[in-house]
Amino acid sequence: MLIGRTSDGPIAGRRVAVTGMGAVTCCGVGVDALWEQLLHPTITGTRSVPDFDPSQWFGPKEARRLDRFAQLSIVAAELARADAGELSVDPGRAGVIIATGVGGFETLVEQVLLCDRKGPGRVSPFLVPMMMANAGAANVSMRFGWHGPSEAVVTACAAGTHAVGSAARLIASGRCDVAIGGGSEASIQEVAIGAFTNMTALSTSGESRPFDVRRDGCVIAEGAAALVLEDMERALERGARIYAEVVGAASTADAYHITAPEPQGSGAVACMELALEDAQLSAADIGHINAHGTSTPLNDLAEARAIQKVFGTPGPPVTSAKGLLGHGLGAAGAIEAVASTLTIFHATIPPTAGLEQLDPEIGLDVVAGAPRPFTPAPVMSNSFGFGGHNGCLVLAPAR
C-alpha cells in the first residue's frame, strides 16, 4: 500500500501526520538540543551521547538488562510520545517499528570477551534478549503497552528511513491509528571502529566533511530518534500540534555490491522517483533534500549524480546532517527524518557542518556556512546502506 496524500487520487491511503518527535544524539537529549546544534554546529570528535544517565529513565535492574541501543530506543520513543500530547490510543491499533544496523553489538562483544576469559558458563543469560535487533521495538511496545505490530528493520544505513516509511504505511493502510517509527544505534566500540577503519570507510582525519573536496570517510556515531505518526483526521480532531505530513516513501536495491554504491546511482534514482510517485509530486515540487551525505568519496559522488538525474543541476538546496552528527548507521535515517521535519516546521535549512570547499564534481546547491531561510515545501530525505539498500521519505508541510 502506498502512502499518498489523498483518498481520492490514484494513490489511496489515509493521511499521515507527524505529531511527536524525540531524539538522543551527540547534541544531547531532546529535539531542541538537536535543532540548536544543526543551526549552529560546534561538535567535533567522538559523536557519542554526552552525559547520558540511564538511571533517569530506568531502574538499576532494568538498565543492566538493556543494551545501550535499546535504552536509547526507549528514551527517544518516550520523548516523542510525551511531545505528541495525550494520545488515548486503542493499544491494539498502535504499532512500533524501530530500526537498527547491528542491535546490541556492545553487549555481544562484552560477552564474547567474557566467554573467552572465563568460559561459556559465565555468559549472561540475558545476552540474546539484549543483543537481538528487535530489542528496541520490543521494549518500546512493552513500555507503552501497545499491542499492534512491533517490528525491527535491519537494512544497514537505510534502516531508520525504512522504519519511518513502514510505520507511515501502518497508518495509511488503516492498520494502526498511531505508530512510532524510529531507529537506534550504539556501536562506538573498538571492534566496530577497527572494522570500519580497516575497510577504509572511516575518516582518517576524524572529521566528517560531506561533499567537501577533502572528504575522506565518515565518523561513526551513536544515537536514536523516534517520530509519532498518526492518522491525520484523528490528529486534527484531538487538536494535536502537527509538525508535518509524511506523504511518500520508497525502497529499492542496487543489486550491485555489498558495500560500494552503484557508481551512477541508478538504485538511488529509482528510489527517489518512486518516492515522488508515491507522494503524487514532481521533482519541481521538492523544496529541499536532506542528503545521505556520509562524507565518503564514492557515496557522496554517487548520490550527487543521482540527485542531478532526478532534479537537474543544481536542483533544490541540499544539506547533510552527518557533518555535525556523524554517521549513526541504522539510526541515521530516523534522526534525519526528525531534522527534515524540523526544517519544515521552523522554515529554515541547517548548514552542512564540515563543508568548506565544495567538490566541483558534486554540482549541487549544498547549504553551508549558515542556515538558509526556507519557504516550507516538500522535503526529501535520503538514506543508502551497505547491501545496496536505498530508502527515501517525502515530508510536506501540513495543510
Residue 11 binned pLDDT confidence (cut-offs 50, 70, 90): very low
End-to-end CA distance of the chain: 22
**What pLDDT is stored for residue 399 in this prediction?**
82
Region 127-140: what's the mean pLDDT?
A: 98
Q: Pull the grid cell for residue 185.
A: 544505534
**What pLDDT is stored for residue 8 in this prediction?**
37
Q: Under DSSP, is residue 183 helix (H, G, I), strand (E, B) or coil?
A: strand
Residue 59 binned pLDDT confidence (cut-offs 50, 70, 90): very high
**What pLDDT is stored for residue 327 in this prediction?**
96
Say which CATH topology domain 16-396 has.
Peroxisomal Thiolase; Chain A, domain 1 (3.40.47)
In percent, the amount of the chain with pLDDT more than 90 equals: 93
Region 83-108: what's the mean pLDDT?
A: 97
**What pLDDT is stored for residue 9 in this prediction?**
32
Catalytic residue among 157, 176, 218, 271: 157
| Cα separation, 195 vs 191, whole angstroms | 6
Catalytic residue among 271, 292, 389, 392: 292
pLDDT in tens, 269-284: 999 999 999 999 999 9
Give yes or no: 346 in active site: no
Burial class of residue 216, CB neighbours in 10 A (0-12, 13-18, 19+): middle
**What pLDDT is stored for residue 262 in this prediction?**
86
Q: Pull the grid cell for residue 90.
A: 486503542
Catalytic residue among 288, 327, 389, 392: 327
* Whether pLDDT at 68 is above 60: yes
* Whether pLDDT at 16 is above 50: yes
Give yes or no: 288 in active site: no
Region 85-112: what's the mean pLDDT?
A: 96
Can you name the residues that pair with 228 across neighbouring β-strands? 20, 180
* Whether pLDDT at 2 is above 90: no
Q: At 133, which amino acid appears? A: A
Average pLDDT, the chain: 95
311: DSSP letter: H
pLDDT in tens, 339-374: 999 999 999 999 999 999 999 999 999 999 999 999
Domain residue limits, the chain: 16-396
**What pLDDT is stored for residue 263 in this prediction?**
82
Region 196-220: what's the mean pLDDT?
A: 95
**What pLDDT is stored for residue 13 in this prediction?**
87
Report the Cα 344 to chain-centroid distance in Å.
16
Report the residue count for the chain: 399
Give yes or no: 147 in active site: no
* Whether pLDDT at 10 is above 90: no
* Whether pLDDT at 133 is above 90: yes
Backbone torsions φ then ψ of 189, nearest 5 degrees? -145, 150
On whether the pTM is more than 0.85, the answer is yes
pLDDT in tens, 20-57: 999 999 999 999 999 999 999 999 888 999 989 999 99
205: DSSP letter: S
Region 280-306: what's the mean pLDDT?
A: 96
Q: Pull the grid cell for residue 35.
A: 535543532
Whether the Cβ atoms of residue 152 and residue 99 lie closer than 8 Å to each other: yes
pLDDT in tens, 145-183: 999 999 999 999 999 999 999 999 999 999 999 999 999
